[in-house]
Amino acid sequence: MTDQSIIFFDIDGTLLNDEKELPKSTKEAIYKLKENGHIVAIATGRAPFMYANLRAELDIDTYVSYNGQYVVLNGEVLYTNPLNIPALETLTEDALNHNHPVLFMDHEDMKANVPEHPYIHESINTLKIEQFPTHDPLYYQDRELYQSMVFCAEGEEVYYQEKYQDFDFVRWHPVSVDVLPKGGSKAKGIEQIIKKLGFPKERQFAFGDGPNDVEMLSSIYNSVAMGNAGDHLKSVAKYVTKSVDNNGIQYGLEMVGLL
């Protein structure tokens, strides 16, 4: 179809509500998009294994994980951007001295460098996923890692931001910060898919709600901020829809003319 579009959806606060539930209207809207011949993709900060069930439920096999560091197109890995392991090893030793646990994450699993810590439980449990990190302090060795987490209170990440120039630090929880390769973003991951498929800007759409969606909504021509998004994200988006719990996805797709 000549007017085929590609639509990228964030997960938390966009496809899923605060209870990590998929609204019925959202599921129906996604299936309608696919029936109409459009390509539906996910762009998230989550690891691939954290939303395998959601991909299966929505029959989606194109996705951007780890805020752009692990990109899959039609079920095949298209692009990866791993962390600098020597720099991560140094950061981990430093964090351990500050009693800040570190999580190591690849495309299949996540391992913590300490056996137990309340910050790990407090933050990971909010994701409401089946998989919980187990202990392996050497998991960073001999493998590619696409994201890490440092568990620390708000403001404490400034120390790491100033000291470790190989990474970007993005807070997603009051006691947890994502560690990404410098300059990595959902927008960079999406760029790899667009480059491969060749969609014109007018046929590119993206929906998001959080701070890690700023680059995505700033770069995608038809960008839609959820009603539950912050003011800054709404200011960079072309459109603003209703909240996720108020049929925001369905309403937004109708607003931009895709449904």
CATH number for the domain harbouring residue 209: 3.40.50.1000
Confidence of residue 122 (pLDDT cuts 50, 70, 90): very high
67: closest CA among 92, 90, 48? 48
Alpha-carbon distance of 95 to 148, in angstroms, equals 12
User: Are both 243 and 162 inside the same structural domain?
Assistant: no
Say if CB 120 and CB 101 are below 8 A apart.
Answer: yes
Six token digits for residue 42? 């996910």
User: In sequence order, what are the residues at sequence separation of 6 or more whose Cβ sits closer than 8 angstroms to the Cβ of residue 252?
Assistant: 207, 224, 226, 239, 241, 242
Structure tokens at 58: 């929505």
Say whether both 94 and 174 belong to one domain. yes
pLDDT for 1 equals 43
Question: Same domain, yes or no, for 52 and 97?
Answer: no
pLDDT above 60 (res 95): yes
Give CA–CA dist 18/8, Å, rounded: 20
Let me know if 152 is exposed, middle or buried by CB neighbors in 10 A (0-12, 13-18, 19+): buried
Q: Looking at the structure, do residues 104 and 225 belong to the same domain, yes or no?
A: no
pLDDT at 2 (0 to 100):
55
CA distance 169 to 71: 20
What's the N-to-C CA distance of the chain in angstroms? Answer: 15
Residue 90 domain-assigned (yes or no)? yes
Q: Per-residue pLDDT for 147 more than 60?
A: yes
Residues 48, 212: Cα–Cα separation, whole Å: 17
- Note whether residue 1 is domain-resident: no
pLDDT at 128: 87
Query: Could you tell me which residues are beta bridge partners of residue 224?
Result: 207, 239
- State yes or no: pLDDT of 12 exceeds 90: yes
- List the alpha helices (DSSP H) in the chain: 24-35, 52-58, 85-97, 118-124, 157-163, 186-197, 214-219, 231-236, 248-255
Number of helical (H) and strand (E) elements in the chain, helices listed first:
9, 14
pLDDT for the residue numbered 37: 96
pTM as predicted: 0.93
192 and 74 housed in the same domain: yes
User: CA-to-CA distance for 199 and 181, rounded, in angstroms?
Assistant: 27
Do both 109 and 169 map to the same domain? Answer: yes
Q: Are residues 23 and 140 in the same domain?
A: no
- The set of catalytic residues is 10
pLDDT tens per residue across span 243-252:
999 999 999 9
CATH number of the domain encompassing residue 100: 3.30.1240.10
Q: Which residue range is the domain that position 145 belongs to?
A: 85-181
Residues 12, 10: Cα–Cα separation, whole Å = 6
The Cα–Cα gap between 71 and 134 comes to 25
| Local confidence band at 148 (pLDDT 50, 70, 90 cut-offs) | very high
Domain total of the chain: 2
List 204's β-bridge partners, or say none: 6
Of 181, 215, 237, the residue that ends a domain is 181
Closest of 94, 100, 68 to residue 83, by C-alpha: 68
Provide mean pLDDT across the span 148-175: 95
